[in-house]
């Protein structure tokens, strides 16, 4: 198994599906831009509840980072075109700009509620004047 991180933009809105045995999952398609300017299509699926919900909140064109197990293969087009790489990911974690904004707001709110008192001079001296041997 290869653990990987896929960074790209959603090719289409994520789709909620149900497997034959009744398990819910979400499928996604991500376009990843390579260093040479080419684009790679990566497909993925998520089974974990919070990850599924996070994906379903996204829309076509949204930036996304997907972490999970990668499967690499080769796709042979029917029209005789040369083979292309095929990558799929079983998504275990997702991060989007919405998550970053939410976390920043939570951090700012936590900072506002923290006490702003500085440690007393005696507390600073006790910390600086330790007797640890090096």
pLDDT digits (tens, 9 = 90+) for 65-88: 999 999 999 988 888 888 888 899
Torsion of CA 84, 87, 88, 89, to 10 degrees: -170
Residue 89 has a CB neighbour count (10 Å cut-off) of 23
Q: Inform me whether the pLDDT recorded for 62 exceeds 70.
A: yes
Q: What is the pTM of this model?
A: 0.71
Count of structural domains within the chain: 1
2 has pLDDT over 80: yes
CATH number at residue 76: 2.40.50.140
| Structural domain includes residue 38 | yes
Split at pLDDT 50, 70, 90, the class of 38 is confident
* 127 within a domain of the structure (yes/no): no
Query: Look-up: residue for tokens 């299509």?
Result: 41
In a domain, 128, yes or no: no
Residue 55 lies in a domain: yes
Which residue range forms the structural domain that includes residue 20? 2-100
């Amino acid at each position: 198994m290869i653990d990987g991180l896929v960074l790209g933009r959603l090719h289409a809105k994520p789709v909620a599906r149900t497997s034959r045995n009744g398990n819910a999952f979400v499928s996604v398609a991500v376009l990843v831009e390579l260093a040479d300017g080419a684009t790679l299509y990566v497909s993925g699926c998520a089974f974990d509840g919070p990850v599924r919900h996070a994906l379903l909140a996204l829309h076509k064109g949204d930036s996304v980072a997907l972490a999970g197990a990668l499967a690499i293969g080769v796709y042979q087009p029917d029209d005789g075109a040369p083979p292309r790489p095929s990558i799929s990911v079983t998504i275990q974690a997702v991060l989007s700009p919405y998550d970053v904004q939410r976390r920043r707001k939570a951090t700012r709110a936590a900072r506002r509620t923290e006490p702003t008192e500085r440690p007393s001079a005696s507390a600073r001296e006790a910390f600086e004047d330790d007797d640890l041997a090096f």
